[in-house]
Every structure is written in structure tokens, then in C-alpha cells.
Structure 1
Amino acid sequence: MLSNLPEEVLYQILSNLDYKSLSRLSQVCRTIHQFVNRDAVWRKIAKELLNTGITRHGRDIYPHVPLKERVKMSQNWYNGVCKIAITLKWKIKLLPWLQLDGDALFLSQAAEIGAYHLRQDRGGRHTRNLVAVFSGHRGDVCRFTLTDSHLISGGSDGKILVHNRRGHGRVELLGHNQEVNCLDARGGLIVSGSRDRTARIWTSSSTVPRDTVALYDRVWSVAISPALSCECVSSLGEEFRRGAGVLDMVFETPHQLYTCGYDTYIRLWDLRLSPRKCVMEWEEPHDSALYCLQTDGNHMIASGSSYYGVVRLWDKRQSKCLKYFQLTTDRVSSPVYCLRFSSSHLYAAIATALHALDFRRNAQDLLC
């Protein structure tokens, strides 16, 4: 019998099978099932097929998920196989923002930010439980970001609040004269951008800005390089019409920066080149502004459109969109204001709801 073979021989045989064959083989008997489900059997296939990253900065970012399950979910991502559900809904139109941290999801709704614990019930459904609320703004929260110990929020009141995630205390920074459109924090630094045409750099130990950079237009988006560099790397373009520039940006490495905005393109910039140069670009096919984007550190990009709640998935190795999902109807249109994803879920926040796209194994799964 196959199960009686020495393990090294069995590994050699299984290394020649594709993922569908391995999945079917695992159903033969309990002994084979246990052997086939080992990560060592799936490691080679995982390196070839995973579209959502295995490692980031040399560390496994999903160590709790078996490689077999990650391969299955990856193929579902690539082929657009998912279940779409509304996780949260509210009655008035908002400009929500969200962040993920493990099994915790943070979502801004008007002047408050709710922290929800995400989990599965016995039926496999995704549920949420409100565990904390962060407040203190006199207007709507425009943006917020997370560190290991703090939640930093900026609001339409011009305030920047530093909330302690493990307690009830908060510190108010000097802030801006007008609404805070964007924030980022890393390594003890905080960067904020405002409608008042300034970007400010803060340290976690002071309530007054360390530096203020005056600009010619409102600041829509900021990002801190993983290298923690505070130098100006030069302009990435000045051809945008007034008020219509970059709406979101994401550093993937200290040298790779992704941007998107009103001109309907996702662009990858190589900051090592002089002058800085766009090395790849992906065009939104329906000529819609792109409000947000996320990358997985490997091959996958997700973007959110300004019309009809459209989320698109892109493979960086291809120029055309892989799949798209429309979260609103033709009669009720909304931008996707923010999106985040884990190994199994993509969360998209629109004006009236938070949608969850579940890419785990289900009845429609392409694998057995």
C-alpha cells in the first residue's frame, strides 16, 4: 500500500503531483490524509501558486494557517471565488476608514472608532463583537492608524489624538488648522497631512510638531518608508489638476511605493532611480478614480473605485484586472473608501456598510 512506503519515498512521489491531485489523494484514507496535509508536502506548490504572500521581511505572516489551506484560498483569490456578506451596516452615509490587526478590526464611524473582535461561529460564519470604542473628536474621524500600543486618529476638527490601546488614556497633539486628511505612524514617528496645505512630522514624546512642511495644495495621503527616512525624495509628478492628486499610497519596501488617485492609475515607483520613475502601472478600465489600494507583499493588489463600490484584484505580473466585485447597485453608488485583507478575507468599507469577502474553502471551491 502507498502508506507502507518509507516517508522519503512517499515525499518524492508526492512532489510530482499538482495541487488538485494532492487534494484528491488526501481523501483516500485517514493515514494518507494526515501525511498529505503536512506543510512539507505543500511547500513546493505553495512557492509556485501562492498569490497572497507567505513571508514578509523574512517572517511567515500566517504561521497558524496550514500551507494546504493557504494554497486553496490563494486559488480562490486568483479565480474570484468568494462569499460576500455585509458585516456591519449603518443608516447615514459616512466616510469610514478601517485597519486590521490580527483578529481585530478597527472601523471609524462618524466621531468614534470601534474595535471589533472577528471570529467564526460553529457554522463557519464570520461574526464580530464590539470590544472597545475610541472617541474624543468633535467632528468625524477622517483617518487613523495603528501601532503596537497606540491608535492615532485625525479628524475634521483638526485634532490628532493618540489613544492608548490597552487603557483609556489619550494625548492630544497640536494638530492642524483644518481637517486632517491622512496619517501614518512608524518607529515612534507620526506624519499627518491636512486640508491646510501642510504636512507635519511628530515624535511620540511631544505634543508639538517636530517639522512642518508647507505645500501648495491640500495633502490627501502620506506614508512613512519602512526605512524611517524623513528626507524629501523629490516629486513624483506635478501634472495633476488642482485638488486631484494621489489619494492613497503604500510602501511595500523602502524602495517600492505604490500610489493611486484621481487619474485612474495604480503606479509602482522605484525610489532608487534618479529621477524617481514609475516602473509599472495598472489602469482602472472604467475611468474611475481610485480611492484606496492594498498589497500583500507578494503578487496581489486590491483597489477600491469611486463608483458603485467596485473592488478589483490585480496580479502584479499582469496588466489587466484579474477579478472585480461590485458592492453597490446602479441606483445606489458609493466609493470604496478603504479596504484591507488577510489571508482569507477582504474587507471593504463603503458609505453605508462594511462588506466582507470570504475566500476560504466553500461549496464553490475549485479544489476538491
Structure 2
Amino acid sequence: MLLQQLPEDVLYQIMSYLDCRSLSRMCQVCRSICVFVNRDAVWRRVAKQFLNTGISRDGKDIYPHIPLKERVKIAQNWCDGVCRRATLLKWKTKLLPWLQLERDLLFLSQAADIGVHRLQKDSGRLQRNPSQIYSGHDGDVCRFVLTDSHLISGGSDGRILVHSRTSNVSTQLSGHNQEVNCLDSKDGLIVSGSRDQTTKIWTLTSKYPRDTIPMYDRVWSVAISPTVSSFVTGTACCQNFSPLRIWDAERLECVCSLGSEFRRGAGVLDMVFESPSQLFTCGYDTFIRLWDLRLSPRKCVMEWEEPHDSALYCIQTDRNHMIASGSSYYGVVRLWDKRQTECLQFFQLSTESVSSPVYCLRFSSTHLYAALATALHSLDFRQNPICIR
């Protein structure tokens, strides 16, 4: 019996023993085998082992519109640091920009406005002139988040604006008397943190805060759990308690504090829920930490240290093996493999004479975008690696 005459389930079993190089060579056997090998089902097992292929740990496919074989090719470049660098936008005044990425749209805050830039499908570059602008703050936008129906922004004027994405209607939420450093929103719930040392809980249907929690410290970061039953606050760590605390979203009681050995000033600048039980944090103490919230007591189960002793301003994960982090000096972006303790790749985006933190970064399967004080940079990883052509 010829290979292509075998039942499909047998072929799948045979292909499951092959690595990416061998699968690519199988595509050269004949046309019918090539068609079979190019199926996503054949590449799914291999894809789970690579960085940023869009297959999360629970098996969900984040980029179903891109063939898995192509994503595995690009993932090899993420591992090897093979990319093309570009500066997409520049501005003269130093800002603290923030980013959000949604399919082919890049949302970028500059001073008091948030511009929506469309990304070109083939090149990954963006239209310089925004197709839409969200405005209304009297000061700079500090943070903003996207939901399916709204864009919610917090500014240095202490206000939170809820912009409808389907109309020109904006609602102002008043409550903080100093800059809103952070906010998050899920399923109609909004949690904000401010320099005024409070955390406030809002709903999309009310202009006034539902509840206020005194924090007795500046709040740098917040994150709502995927289950929306709790949220986490990260403070400046200038008081005698842990900067990381978990709160019950209904009762507003502190469920627990995470960690106890933070040094004074080791504020938490960014945090990301990868699942209801896994939380990643970073900040001034130069560490990325993974917290397992299923354990009792909840504790840090893994950490990665920034090798140049720089504060970490932002992180993002691919929900599988990769972490990307932005450092406080020279625009350094690092890629980490969670299965290793050492940094996998790093990219310096600013010069020694014009040093800037990476205030925010976001990535897709093919590009990484990083916002610095005076420019927006991109790394394009769509180069064909030799090993799996």
C-alpha cells in the first residue's frame, strides 16, 4: 500500500512523530501528501512547542485565519530573533504612550488623544493618519482598555471616559481627584487605580463609582480575573504591606496578599492574567513573577530577572510559552521562554544618547509593536528560516 493510500487516522498518527523539519520535507513527497500535511490538525502538536503560534495552553487557537504551518515558520524567527525593524511614527514631545492591538487596528494614545491606526495587511505598517480619534481628556491619557463595545480611558485629569465604539457618544465618570494610573474592564465591570491612593469600582451603566477602596498607597496597576469574581491591585510598595493584593469583586474584601519580601519602593507596574489561576506581574524590582492562585497559600512559582537590573514597565504573554517585556532603559524589549530562566532574545530600540523606557508593547503572530517616549517601533518576524522552508 502506498503512503497516500493509508487511512487518514493512520496518517495522522504517523505525522504525530515528526518534527517541523520532517513535516516540511514530507510536503515535497507528492501533491496529495503535501495537501494532507498542510492541514492545521497535523501541525497542532508541533505548534504547541513553539513560541507565539497562537495555540494557547488550553488548546484555543487565537489566530485561526493563519495556517498553522506558516505560524510555525514565523515562530522559529521569534526564537532566533530574526526580524526586520522599523520606526512607524515619531513625535517631538516626550510622552507616556499606551497601546492596544485588535486584529488590523492599532490604538495609540498620544497626549490627550487616542488614535486608531489601520495596519496594512501585507507589510504590517500602519496608516500615519488615524482613521478615528477618541478625545475628551483635559490632560494626558495614562491608560485605556478595549471591550467589544467601548474604549475606556483614564487620564491625568482624574477622569475616566467611556467611549462608545459604535457611535460618537462618550460618558464621563468622575471620582478620582488625581491622575488615573491604571484601569481594567470586563463584562461591564470597571476597576481603576489612582495616584490619590484609592481603587474605585464602576459599572458601565453608572456615572459614579459603585465602591471605593482606600489603598493608602499609590495604585500603579490593576487586573480583573477572567472569571470577573476578583481583581488584583498593584501599588507603589511605599507602605508596610505587600504591593499585590487580591480582592473579592462583590464583597470588596481583601482575599489575600501575594508575597511578603518586596523591598520598599518595589512597585508593581503591570500585570496580566493568563488564566483564572495564573497571574504574571512585573515592576521596579526587575523581576517577572508567575503566581499560582490555586495554591494555598498563593505563592510565586517562577520568576525571571531582568539581567541589566532595569525596572520592567510592561509585559505580555502568548498564553503558552512566551513572555515579552519592556525595560526602563534604552528601549529594551526582551523575549522569554517560560521553560527557561535566561532571556531568549533582546532588542534595543533606542540609542544610548536618547534612552527611553518601553511604556507599552503588544504583539500579533507576526509583529511586535513597542511605544517609547518619542516613537512607535515595530519588529517584523516574517522572514523564512532556513530550517523549515
Normalised by the length of structure 1, the TM-score is: 0.92
Percent identity, aligned pairs only, is 71
Instruction: Write out per-residue CA displacement over residues 167-204 of structure 1, whole angstroms, 9 at most, x where no aligned residue.
Output: 11100001310000001001110000001111100011
Matches within 5 A, 1:321-340: 321-340=343-362
Are 2:296 and 1:294 aligned? Answer: no
CA distance in 1 between partners of 2:44 and 2:315 (Å): 29
How far does residue 224 in structure 1 lie from its aligned partner after superposition? 0.5
Kindly provide the CA deviation profile for residues 205-246 of structure 1, in whole angstroms up to 9, marking residues without a partner as x: 111111111112110000111121241232224655655410
Q: Secondary structure at the match of 2:256?
A: coil
SS at 2:351 equivalent: coil
Q: Secondary structure at the match of 2:388?
A: coil
1:125 is aligned, of 117, 120, 123, to 123
Measure how far apart 1:337 and its partner are.
0.3
User: How many correspondences in the alignment?
Assistant: 364
The 1-side partners of 2:321 and 2:263 are apart by: 31
* Structure 1 residues 186 and 164: alpha-carbon distance in aligned structure 2, compared to 1, 3 A threshold: same
AA at the equivalent of 1:196: D
Report how far residue 86 of structure 1 moved.
Answer: 1.4
- Which residue of structure 2 lines up, in the alignment, with residue 115 of structure 1? 116
* Correspondence 1:212-231 to 2 at 5 A: 212-230=212-230, 231=248
- Partner-residue secondary structure (3-state), 1:221: strand
Identify which range, 320-329 or 71-80, moves more after superposition.
71-80
Which residue does 2:235 correspond to in 1?
Answer: none
Match of residue 244 from structure 2? none
State the match for 1:136 in structure 2: 136
Question: Which residue is equivalent to 2:94?
Answer: 93
Q: Do the aligned partners of 1:348 and 1:354 also contact (CA within 8 Å) in 2?
A: yes
Partner of 1:146: 146
| Conserved 8 A contact 2:51-2:79 | no
Residue number in structure 2 paired with 1:305: 327
Deviations 1:277-296 (A, max 9, x none): 11111100000000001111
Structure 1 Cα separation of the partners of residues 2 and 47 of structure 2? 23
CA contact (8 A) 2:265 2:284 kept: no
Using the alignment, how far apart are the partners of 2:190 and 2:85 within structure 1? 35
**2:286 counterpart residue number:** 264
Q: 1:2 to 1:99 in 2, by over 3 A?
A: farther
Amino acid in structure 2 at the alignment position of 1:61? I
Separation of aligned partners in 1, 2:4 and 2:259? 64
Distance in 1 (alpha carbons) for counterparts of 2:2 and 2:23: 13
Q: SS of 2:79's equivalent?
A: helix
Verify the 8 A CA contact 1:52 1:297 in the aligned structure 2. Answer: no
Tell me, in whole angstroms, the C-alpha distance in 2 between the residues paired with 1:2 and 1:349.
54
What is the CA distance between 1:21 and its match in structure 2? Answer: 2.9
Are residues 93 and 195 of structure 1, via their aligned partners in 2, closer, same or farther at CA, if it must alter by over 3 Å? same
Partner of 2:222: helix, strand, or coil? coil
- Structure 2 distance, partners of 1:278, 1:38, is 39
The residue aligned with 2:257 is 235
Q: Could you tell me how far apart the structure 1 residues matched to 2:123 and 2:270 are? A: 31
Report the counterpart of residue 284 of structure 1 in structure 2: 306
Quick one: distance in 1 between partners of 2:46 and 2:125?
Answer: 32
- The runs of 5 or more residues in structure 2 that have no matched partner are 231-247, 249-253
Matched, 1:246 2:263: no
Alignment TM-score, normalising by the size of structure 2: 0.87
TM-superposed deviation, 1:22? 2.6
Structure 1: tracts of 5 or more residues without a match: none
Alpha-carbon offset, residue 24 of structure 1? 3.7
Name the stretch that deviates more: 165-174 or 72-81. 72-81
In the other structure, the counterpart of 1:78 is 79
State whether residues 268 and 284 of structure 2, in contact with CA within 8 Å, keep that contact through their aligned partners in structure 1: yes
Rounded Cα–Cα distance in structure 2 between residues aligned with 1:13 and 1:256: 35
Aligned to 2:206: 206
Shift in Å at residue 85 of structure 1?
1.3
Structural RMSD (CA): 2.2
Q: 1:134 to 1:216 in 2, by over 3 A?
A: same
What residue is the counterpart of 2:238 in the other structure? Answer: none
